[in-house]
Amino acid sequence: MEAEIIEKPMAFGFEENENQIMIAQMIRDFGEREIKPFMMEWDESQEFPVPLFKKLGELGLMGVLVPAKYGGSGFGYHEYVTAIVELSKIDGSVGLSMAAHNSLCTGHILQFGNEEQKQKYLPKLASAEWIGAWGLTEPNTGSDAGNMQTTAKEDGDHYILEGAKNFITHGKSGDVAVVIARTGDVGDSHGMTAFIVERGTPGFSGGRKENKLGMRSSETAEMIFDNCRVPKENVLGNVGDGFIQSLKILDGGRISIAALSLGIAQGAYEAALQYSKEREQFNQPISKFQAISFKLADMATQIEAAKLLISQSADLKNRGKKVNKESAMAKYYASEVAVSVANEAVQIFGGYGFTKDYPVEKFYRDAKLCTIGEGTSEIQKLVISRAILS
């Protein structure tokens, strides 16, 4: 992918720029060859297809937001959203892993790493030579991340990490992880620190891999730290800033999950729309029945509204503006739309929608994670309500 950005204004998503058009077509062509023929096999076996992500790296899709000087594509959030949407229209699992790699691990190092850290890690992440993971969630502290139990204690020129993270994308297969650990008191928002931990570091291992309802070829697993010695030069930013950094990373991460949700919704809608035109009952296509056409109207309207919320968030992010409320709105609404649209798509397909011979059952299973991952719908409403009441 060329790193040169074609400058063209975009007003909240009403017009795609040339880069977005190019990226979308590239992914559609790539998906037909490299994803569609294998995605159900990956889904059934729960295989995380690492070679596929190496190919995505060759296309520049594993470092979309990384500047060209670090080996990335140097694009902005509109192009990034387009890439996630197009991948997720084909396979939500691929969209999820691509998004997590870009916005969490790579994004954290890009936003808070020093120059030496950026030079060392970003080229390998942007090319997908290394797959990235990001560890905040723990078994007993999901939304309550401030009470995390994983600790990092200073020991000379190192910190010793003890504890475990769970529900981590690429928790076993990731080559490098950004890990948030407690360096101060429990509950202290300035008592946590971010560390870069490379796979192969003694004491760092992958644990149990989750057996999931959906997103089955995107690996979700534990990361375990047992007397894991991490050098001080691997601290990201200042000691004690890890939690504050994480909240800022999650602002961008919400845009990623919103885009993932939109892609799933669009994929399900397009499949249902096409099927409704082809499936005949009572001597006419089922799209001719008001019960079906009204479902499609609702689905299309919800998708367009989600697009606008996401485009607004991407625009604010590109301009360096505060995006906390807007990204929460986009993530909340788009994820609920994904579940609703996928549900209606299965209904339109009828009995066939419940089988694996048609695509909507997978969209239906994949969609639910979007209302949970990177902050549940309830947490998004908490963020939104605090913003509008402050």
Q: Give the residue numbers marked as catalytic.
A: 374
Residues 246, 97: Cα–Cα separation, whole Å: 18
Strand partners, 164: 224
The closest of 186, 84, 189, 175 to 133, measured between CA atoms, is: 175
To 5 degrees, how large is the angle CA 216–CA 146–CA 116? 75
Strand partners, 179: 135, 195
Within the chain, residue ranges assigned H as helices are 18-34, 39-45, 50-58, 77-90, 92-100, 107-112, 115-126, 242-278, 290-318, 324-349, 360-367, 377-389
Largest CA distance in the chain: 79
Residues 134, 176: Cα–Cα separation, whole Å: 9
SS3 string of 351-387?
HHHHCCCCCHHHHHHHHHHHHCCCCCHHHHHHHHHHH
Residues 342, 353: Cα–Cα separation, whole Å: 10
The answer to whether 167 touches 372, Cβ cutoff 8 Å, is: no
Query: What torsion do the CA atoms of 9, 12, 18, 24 make, to the nearest 10 degrees?
Result: 160
Instruction: Kindly state the tokens that stand for 348.
Output: 């339109």
The answer to whether 261 touches 306, Cβ cutoff 8 Å, is: yes
Exposed/middle/buried for residue 140 (C-beta within 10 Å: 0-12, 13-18, 19+): exposed
Q: How many CB atoms lie within 10 A of CB 354?
A: 13
Instruction: Kindly state the tokens that stand for 126.
Output: 């942007």
Instruction: Find all residues with CB under 8 Å of 285, minimum gap 6, and list them.
Output: 276, 277, 278, 279
The answer to whether 5 touches 75, Cβ cutoff 8 Å, is: yes
